[in-house]
Amino acid sequence: MAMLEIKDLHVAFPKGKKSEVEALRGVNLTLEKGERLGVVGESGAGKSMLAFAILNLIAEPGRVSQGSIAFHGENLLELSERDIRSIRGNRISMIFQDPMVTLNPVLSIGTQMVETLKAHRRISDAEARKLCIAKLKEVAIPSAESRLDAYPHELSGGLRQRVVIAIALLTDPELIIADEPTTALDVTIQAEIMALILKLCRDKDVALILITHDLGVVAEVTERIMIMYAGLCVETGATQQIIQAPHHPYSAGLLKALPQFAGRGTRLYQIPGSMPPITALPPGCAYHPRCERATDMCKAQIPPLEHGCACFHPLDQTEAAS
Amino acid sequence: MISLKGFITRFLSDPVAIGAGSVLLILVLMAILAPFLAPQNPYDLMQLDIMDSEMPPSWKPGGDERFLLGTDAQGRGVLSTIMYGTGISLLIGIGAVIVQGVLGVTLGLIAGYRGGWIDAFLMRLADIQMSLSTLMIAIIVLAIFQAAFDANTYADYAIFMLIVIIGVAEWPKFARTVRSSVLGEKSKEYVDAARVIGLPPRKIMVTHILPNTLTPVLVISTIQVAEAIMTEAALSFLGLGMPTDRPSLGSLIRSGFEFIFSGSWWITLYPAIVLVVLILALNLLGDWLRDVLNPKLRRGDD
Amino acid sequence: MTDAIVETKGIEVRFPLPTHFLAREKPVLHALNGVDIAIQPGESFCVVGESGCGKTTLGRTIMGLQSPTAGEIYFNGQRIDQMDEAARKPIRRDMQMVFQNPYASLNPRRNVFETLAEPIRHLMPEKTGPEVRAQVEEVLAATGCDPSWQRKLPHEFSGGQRQRIAIARALVTNPAFIVADEPISALDVSIQAQILNLLDDLQAERGLTYLFITHDLSVVEHFGTRVAVMYLGRVMELAETDTLFSAPKHPYTRLLLDAIPKIEGGSFDNPREPGELPDPVNMPPGCPFAPRCPMAEARCRTERPELRTLDNGTQAACHFAE
């Protein structure tokens, strides 16, 4: 049995009085212990929604309208708020984009860490503090003992995100969900933080769901990739395989559009148009208006996800590799 | 940003807004059309008959069907005086808010955009103004005014004076609101883009920043109209507002107040009800506007 | 190199920090510390650096949005930083700017036509109504905008479309020089390529010179002719793009290059030490990069290296660069 298994997940938001729009339109996902998965997509593709759904944190008035999320075989959607709290922040941890969302500005870092720990473990204050210092050292925070009494605003952005990671690791989770953990940070700090997350996941055999728009970061950190478009997974598979030979025209377009691949003075490949908002999805494959391979079939039917690619006209081996 | 269509849709889907809006509309129409609708003209001394004074509402024993809500001590129909009085109250309320708005928006805009010592000076001025209660200023100025001029001159200029006094006393509310939204807008890149073109600061303030600060101005305007009407009513009740021969709702309540214990409760009660309903409708509408125009509180598709 | 279109000589920008007005000490933030750059006509001159390095301040100072505390700025040989508004007006036609956030750079209450017509009306008052309309339509067509957009408000457009409109506004007076401040960093991946291609095409058609401000070195590699790497208000290295990428001379440049996630993966495998910017208010006396520099010696902490030209033409501010 897989550690996490999501089946046919739909998330809907009310539109007007009667109708609903779907932010996720049937997403399937399995994650094994210690596996690192990258979820890639543009803003509005539904990638953050997926993370929130797993933690049962979808904000009102949105709701999971269909599907199941099984964690070690237990459907998270059917758990009581009390039971879900014993999993969320404990066996599944979360790292958000903005560390200030996770950290309370009026409490010292030590207080927050000890609180988190005591919420999930029976442990004395002294032991908790000792453990916190150990975790801060693990995330390479210099002079960890003295930082425990610091307040979040006294730390730089990079150190704050390290503290958030230390908090996420406190309870020795089996899965970490990181939602754009480095988008707000500078490139050199991003490299530090991603290298740290990668090392910790490897050392402790922790599974990771990394949500990002940055294909480079995904390539560096994850083993498997899931590319999302307009609330659906359009392609999934081993990271390097997809990066070297994407089959879905959208994945191929995204990769070709990266400036790294175009020589100087040459034009970048560009996907025309932009992703439709979930309130105005075209019929059939949501990507067809932007796709150069689209046919009448694409306009009528939603292509199913087969062999890791949801496309009626995928690129074949030779096309994909070029 | 909300479109006009979205705005109307929101309005029509909210029973409170429809209720408050229609009550306000009725009261405004009633006030505007008073010369055509009112059974009597309370300003026309020829129509008054002292024999008609203190008649109860028409359905009570002793009532007269010419006077649906009864008459006051001078024989004026309460219904007619309410219709005219609502008009005067609204006129003062709206007039005062226009004065507040023009003063407050201008000073707030200058303070926010210029910053520095101009900002510091204007905002300290606002603090001082706010620490003096509007009612207190109004009482002092009006008392002096009343003492200095004879009753006829006072009656002629009372509306004007009330508008100016309530208007000047309350400008800091607008100035503060506008200043804080100017500070928010000023740092946005569209203002930089206008500066790159080389537009003069005055033009940037008026044509770029001002239109983007009007939403909160609209919201407080509604609530300030209610506030100004209340202030005027309070002043009139103290005998410092509108004279009894051109009564506002406040002076009507006052003129009937001394007859409450002699049994003529209708002279005070009906204008009081209208005043309360008017203020309530304005406040409800103001709250609703704030919710609709605040993008942070808005959800859904509009 | 006297024929530079834009040249800065030793510009400094200092911001007084807000304090109590009776405070004895008036702390000052040094945003720019003596920056000399000369941009040749037809270049795509890139400025890269992390947040707080002064790259945005440099662009804003050149455009006159910020007046320099010291130093001189020249445009086509004319000194512009102390010009009065009347004398500067004809120059404003030739210098325009594209901003980072297309959601904030368009006035939400103005339709596209009004936004685009304003620069013409102000800077070219000799134009008649029909000429203004013709010019607006010409620039809309050139930037790939539909002529039907003219009567629409900004909120009806997607981020990419808004950025096209913002570019159209910058081009409407036919400028020779454009400052583009992170013009693609607020956009989705598939849209970034569209905007970069548009900037490329416009440069080819109109002979534009760009000052391109970015934090993303992979964009620089594709787009730039020369690059200035900035750190804490100073230029650390200035080189031809190819030279910078093939032979980076300054240790900070190397750190930046090393931080780019590679699509082949593998470069985040080793953990990195946390590096932090020193406090820009109380700058250390020596090299600003010394606290993070792996090569730093005692000399670096006391003596600030000046920008000097090396054998291969690169300029670097490092005692040990050669």
The answer to whether position A97 is within a domain reads: no
Across the strands, what pairs with B286? none
Mean predicted lDDT score pLDDT of chain C: 89
Q: Residue A61: is the preceding peptide bond cis (ω within 30°)? A: yes
Q: Is C166 on the interface with B (CB under 8 A)?
A: yes
The answer to whether position B14 is within a domain reads: no
Contact B85, B248 (CB under 8 A): yes
Alpha-carbon dihedral B238, B242, B245, B251, rounded to 10 degrees: -40
- pLDDT at residue A289, rounded to an integer: 92
The answer to whether position B272 is within a domain reads: yes
Residues 236-295, chain A, touching C (beta carbon < 8 A)? 239-240, 243, 253-255, 257-262, 264, 267-272, 274-275
Share of chain B above pLDDT 90, in %: 26
The answer to whether position A134 is within a domain reads: no
Cβ distance of B190 and C104 shorter than 8 Å: yes
Q: Which domain holds residue B120?
A: 76-295
Pairing of strands C234-240, C226-231: antiparallel
Q: Kindly identify which residue of chain A lies nearest to residue C192, measuring between CA atoms.
A: A257
- pLDDT at residue C270, rounded to an integer: 80
Best interface-test mutation with A: which of C190, C196, C262 has the largest number of A CBs within 10 A? C190
Q: Tell me the pLDDT tens digit for each residue of B248-262.
A: 888 888 877 777 777
Q: Is A307 on the interface with B (CB under 8 A)?
A: no
Q: Is B211 on the interface with C (CB under 8 A)?
A: yes
Q: Which residues of chain C make contact with B194, given a CB cutoff of 8 A?
A: 107, 118
Q: What is the mean pLDDT of residues C122-133?
A: 91
Cβ distance of A192 and C274 shorter than 8 Å: yes
- Give the separation between CA A281 and CA A22, rounded to whole angstroms: 10
CB atoms within 10 A of CB A49: 24
CB atoms within 10 A of CB C169: 28
Contact B215, B298 (CB under 8 A): no
The answer to whether position C39 is within a domain reads: yes
- State how many domains chain C has: 1
Q: Which domain holds residue C112?
A: 6-316
Q: What is the mean pLDDT of residues B173-177?
A: 92
Cβ distance of C190 and A271 shorter than 8 Å: yes
The answer for residues whose C-beta is within 8 angstroms of residue B235's C-beta and 6 or more apart is B135, B138, B139, B142, B162, B241, B250
The answer to whether position C321 is within a domain reads: no
φ, ψ at B45 (rounded to 5°): -65, -25
Tokens of C22: 């009776």
Q: Where are the alpha helices (DSSP H) in C207-321?
A: 217-223, 241-246, 251-259, 298-302
pTM of the model: 0.85
Across the strands, what pairs with A63? A12
Q: What is the CATH number of the domain that holds A79?
A: 3.40.50.300
**B300: pLDDT confidence band, cut at 50, 70 and 90?**
very low
- Give the separation between CA C116 and CA C147, rounded to whole angstroms: 12
Q: Kindly identify which residue of chain B lies nearest to residue C64, measuring between CA atoms.
A: B196
- pLDDT at residue B299, rounded to an integer: 42
- pLDDT at residue B42, rounded to an integer: 75
Q: Which residues of chain C make contact with A150, given a CB cutoff of 8 A?
A: none
Q: What is the CATH number of the domain that holds B220?
A: 1.10.3720.10
- Give the separation between CA C121 and CA C164, rounded to whole angstroms: 20
Q: Tell me the pLDDT tens digit for each residue of C53-97.
A: 889 999 999 999 989 999 999 999 899 988 888 888 889 999 999
Residues 148-167, chain A, touching C (beta carbon < 8 A)? 156, 158-159, 162
**B56: pLDDT confidence band, cut at 50, 70 and 90?**
confident
- pLDDT at residue C2, rounded to an integer: 54
Best interface-test mutation with C: which of B188, B189, B208, B301 has the largest number of C CBs within 10 A? B189
**B33: pLDDT confidence band, cut at 50, 70 and 90?**
confident
**pLDDT higher than 50, residue B301:** no
Q: Tell me the pLDDT tens digit for each residue of C189-229.
A: 889 999 999 999 999 999 999 999 999 888 898 889 999 99
Q: Tell me the pLDDT tens digit for each residue of C269-278.
A: 887 777 766 6
Closest C-alpha among A69, A40, A100 to residue A251 = A40
The single-letter code of the amino acid at B90 is L
Q: Is B200 on the interface with A (CB under 8 A)?
A: no
The answer to whether position B115 is within a domain reads: yes
The answer to whether position B253 is within a domain reads: yes
- State how many domains chain A has: 1
Class of residue B263 by CB neighbours under 10 A (exposed 0-12, middle 13-18, buried 19+): exposed
The answer to whether position A254 is within a domain reads: yes
Give the CA count within 13 Å in the CB-facing half-sphere of B87: 15
Q: Is B296 on the interface with A (CB under 8 A)?
A: no
Q: Is C101 on the interface with B (CB under 8 A)?
A: yes
* DSSP SS3 for C315: strand
- Give the separation between CA A180 and CA B268, rounded to whole angstroms: 66
Q: Where are the alpha helices (DSSP H) in chain B?
A: 4-12, 15-32, 34-37, 78-114, 116-131, 134-148, 151-169, 171-186, 189-197, 201-203, 214-237, 249-257, 266-293
- pLDDT at residue C21, rounded to an integer: 60
- Give the separation between CA B173 and CA B100, rounded to whole angstroms: 8
- State how many domains chain B has: 1
Residue length of chain C: 322
Q: Where are the alpha helices (DSSP H) in chain A?
A: 47-54, 81-87, 99-102, 109-120, 125-138, 144-147, 157-169, 187-204, 215-221, 239-244, 249-256, 296-300, 317-321
Per-residue pLDDT of chain A (322 residues; tens, 9 = 90+): 789 999 999 999 888 777 888 899 999 999 999 999 999 998 888 888 898 899 888 887 888 988 999 999 889 888 888 888 888 888 999 898 877 777 888 899 989 999 888 888 888 888 899 899 998 988 888 888 888 888 888 888 888 888 999 998 888 899 999 999 888 788 888 888 899 999 999 999 999 999 998 898 999 999 999 999 999 999 999 999 999 899 999 999 998 888 877 767 678 888 888 888 888 889 999 999 999 899 999 999 999 998 889 999 998 877 766 5
Q: Which residues of chain B make contact with C105, given a CB cutoff of 8 A?
A: 188-190, 192-193
Chains that touch A (3 or more CB pairs under 8 A): B, C
The single-letter code of the amino acid at C159 is G
Mean predicted lDDT score pLDDT of chain B: 84
Cβ distance of B299 and A16 shorter than 8 Å: no
- pLDDT at residue A286, rounded to an integer: 92
* DSSP SS3 for B63: coil
Q: Is C242 on the interface with A (CB under 8 A)?
A: yes
φ, ψ at C135 (rounded to 5°): -65, -40
In A230-318, beta strands by DSSP E: 232-238
Contact B256, B268 (CB under 8 A): yes
Q: What is the CATH number of the domain that holds C211?
A: 3.40.50.300
Q: Which residues of chain C make contact with B192, given a CB cutoff of 8 A?
A: 60, 65, 97, 99, 105
- Give the separation between CA A245 and CA B45, rounded to whole angstroms: 96
Give the CA count within 13 Å in the CB-facing half-sphere of A260: 16
Q: Which residues of chain C make contact with A259, given a CB cutoff of 8 A?
A: 193, 196, 218-219, 221-223
Closest C-alpha among A74, A71, A64 to residue A25 = A64
The answer to whether position A133 is within a domain reads: no
Q: Kindly identify which residue of chain A lies nearest to residue B300, measuring between CA atoms.
A: A15
- pLDDT at residue A9, rounded to an integer: 93
The answer to whether position B18 is within a domain reads: no
Contact B52, B58 (CB under 8 A): no
Cβ distance of C221 and A159 shorter than 8 Å: no
Q: Tell me the pLDDT tens digit for each residue of B177-205.
A: 999 999 989 889 999 999 999 899 899 99
Across the strands, what pairs with A177? A94, A209
**C19: pLDDT confidence band, cut at 50, 70 and 90?**
low
The answer to whether position B259 is within a domain reads: yes
**pLDDT higher than 60, residue B298:** no
Residues 159-218, chain A, touching C (beta carbon < 8 A)? 159, 162, 186-192, 194-196, 198-199, 213-217
Q: Which residues of chain C make contact with A272, given a CB cutoff of 8 A?
A: 194
